[in-house]
């Protein structure tokens, strides 16, 4: 692994390697500069029993000091990007429903389904926790997915969030479109069916694969680093799996258990 290459790529994402002994009075998240970084999957929701992908879960990820809060974006029938994991919200098909009609239902904590604009505005009130925006594949097909992609990138630019927002997607063409619309942005491919070298040729800066992919192709981690790419892994929830991925030198770990991962990383110092 080329250490200087990895440092350069991590520095571009706001990660700096600092001697932890100089910062012994800082929080655990601030001391983890030489190991994997923590990304809260759909926000930090589990320990606080918050709704996934809610504004409250985003706020808690920020409070914890996570490197990033991952969230999922779909688009309504009237072309408003909203934050939700599934293509339906409380029984309503998002693609076939206007945003105003989605407001007839609420999340368990009383929040309404967040628009992407509202979610970004909340996240951009601070400048430390990255907003990891997943562009979801549209059930209706590629055209809708690419329109969502364009609207999401345009909104990020409109709100001045280019330095804090990173993109991930299972839709290969959507990620390519992001790299074209927002050169210099961090864009990660999720599907796990291509080598890092293949992905990089199309403008991606990172691979973000399921843990099973890295177990099958552990060499892809080193290959990605040689290609000056970063490596994220999802969704890693047990200490055993976390320790394995840390040992394999991934750069980022996406988890439903950010507190557990912070504790493990802290114990290794």
Domains of the chain: 3-9+28-267 (3.20.20.190)
The predicted pLDDT at position 149 comes to 99
The whole-angstrom separation of Cα 173 and Cα 178 is 9
The whole-angstrom separation of Cα 265 and Cα 254 is 14
pTM (predicted TM-score): 0.88
Burial (0-12, 13-18, 19+ Cβ within 10 Å), 46: buried
* Phi, psi torsion values for 208, nearest 5 degrees: -140, 80
pLDDT at 22 exceeding the cut of 70? no
Q: For residue 176, what is the enclosing H or E element?
A: helix 172-181
Percent of the chain with pLDDT over 70: 87
Give residue-wise pLDDT tens across range 191-241: 999 999 999 999 999 999 999 999 999 999 999 999 999 999 999 999 999
pLDDT at 74 exceeding the cut of 50? yes
Burial (0-12, 13-18, 19+ Cβ within 10 Å), 236: buried
The predicted pLDDT at position 263 comes to 97
Burial (0-12, 13-18, 19+ Cβ within 10 Å), 218: exposed
Give residue-wise pLDDT tens across range 27-40: 333 433 348 999 99
Percent of the chain with pLDDT over 90: 86
pLDDT at 8 exceeding the cut of 70? no
pLDDT at 5 exceeding the cut of 70? no
Least-confidence region, from 22-31, 87-96, 125-134, 216-225: 22-31
CB atoms within 10 A of CB 165: 24
Structure tokens at 58: 């985003």
The predicted pLDDT at position 125 comes to 99
């Amino acid at each position: 692994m080329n250490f200087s290459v990895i440092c350069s790529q991590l520095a571009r994402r706001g990660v700096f390697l600092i001697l932890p002994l100089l910062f012994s009075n800082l929080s655990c998240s601030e001391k983890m500069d030489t190991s994997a970084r923590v990304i809260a999957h759909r926000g930090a929701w589990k320990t606080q029993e918050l709704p996934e992908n809610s504004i409250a879960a985003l706020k808690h990820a920020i409070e914890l000091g996570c490197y990033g809060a991952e969230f999922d974006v779909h688009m309504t029938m009237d072309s408003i990007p909203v934050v939700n994991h599934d293509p339906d919200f409380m029984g309503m098909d998002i693609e076939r429903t206007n945003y105003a009609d989605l407001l007839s239902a609420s999340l368990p904590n009383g929040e309404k389904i967040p628009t992407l604009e509202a979610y970004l505005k909340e996240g951009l009130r601070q400048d430390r926790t990255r907003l990891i925006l997943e562009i979801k594949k549209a059930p209706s097909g590629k055209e809708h997915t690419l329109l969502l992609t364009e609207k999401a990138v345009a909104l990020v630019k409109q709100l001045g969030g280019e330095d804090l927002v990173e993109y991930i997607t299972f839709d290969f063409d959507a990620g390519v479109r992001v790299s074209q619309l927002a050169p210099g942005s961090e864009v990660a491919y999720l599907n796990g069916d291509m080598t890092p070298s293949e992905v990089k040729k199309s403008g991606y800066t990172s691979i973000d694969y399921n843990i099973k992919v890295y177990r099958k192709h552990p060499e892809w981690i080193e290959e990605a680093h040689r290609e000056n790419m970063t490596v994220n892994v999802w969704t890693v929830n047990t200490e055993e799996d976390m320790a394995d991925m840390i040992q394999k030198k991934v750069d980022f770990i996406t988890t439903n258990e950010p507190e557990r991962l912070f504790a493990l990383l802290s114990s290794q110092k």
